[in-house]
Amino acid sequence: MKFVLAFIFFVNLVHADRDGGPYLGIGYGVSQYKDGGLYDSIEEKNTKLRTMYGGAYINKHLCVELGYARIDGQKYKVVENNVSRSLNYTMYSISTLAHYAFYDDRWDFYLKFGAGKVKLDKEEGFTFVYGIGTSLRFNEMVSLKLAYEMYDFGYDEEVNGKHDGSSDYKMRIYYPYVAVEFQF
């Protein structure tokens, strides 16, 4: 499966429309965590988030993107069974973005939908990714992006040493961020 996704991404990158083409971005923002009632308490629900992404425009209205986000979990301190610990999340995703541009492609709005993997320490699981954003293109290579994204995933609690495969807790990570994007 990973090979198929990598192959599709590579083919889209090679055949990218020069109206768009490949791009890389780096961003910084604040995330908010909703645990769905899993933990007894959360000391702080907001913390910093760093993100990197790269993709390719298929045409000026559609692109495919690979993403990476890392949450600095020092403030995500949770209490579970009277034990306090910090949560450090890492998220990987592949998404499709639908764009609509204004003012001679200088100002752009987009919707994002994708899937990926979320990791917490040694545990990992499937996540959906949703987003909305806008970008302002300064020239043909550099743009500034303002985005709001959400990772939606479940947690299957272990009962008697086994997982039953259901999502007992629905968790979400919301994050607005600002990014600088470089297009080639």
Of 69, 68, 53, which Cα lies nearest the Cα of 143?
A: 53
Question: How high is the pLDDT of residue 92?
Answer: 94
111 DSSP β-pair partners:
98, 132
User: Measured between alpha carbons, how far is residue 25 from residues 30, 44, 50, 93, 142 in Å?
Assistant: 17, 28, 11, 14, 10
- Which phi and psi angles does 149 have, rounded to 5°? -130, 160
pLDDT digits (tens, 9 = 90+) for 117-149: 988 777 788 889 999 999 999 988 899 999 999
Q: Which CATH class is domain 2-183?
A: mainly beta
Q: Rounded to whole angstroms, how far apart are CA atoms 25 and 23?
A: 7
The residues spanned by each domain of the chain are: 2-183
Using a 10 angstrom Cβ sphere, with 0-12 exposed, 13-18 middle and 19 or more buried, the burial of residue 59 is exposed
Q: Rounded to whole angstroms, how far apart are CA atoms 101 and 124?
A: 36
pLDDT digits (tens, 9 = 90+) for 46-57: 778 899 999 998
Question: How high is the pLDDT of residue 17?
Answer: 44
Please report, as a single letter, which amino acid is at residue 7: F
Q: Rounded to whole angstroms, how far apart are CA atoms 115 and 157?
A: 22
- Say whether pTM exceeds 0.85: no
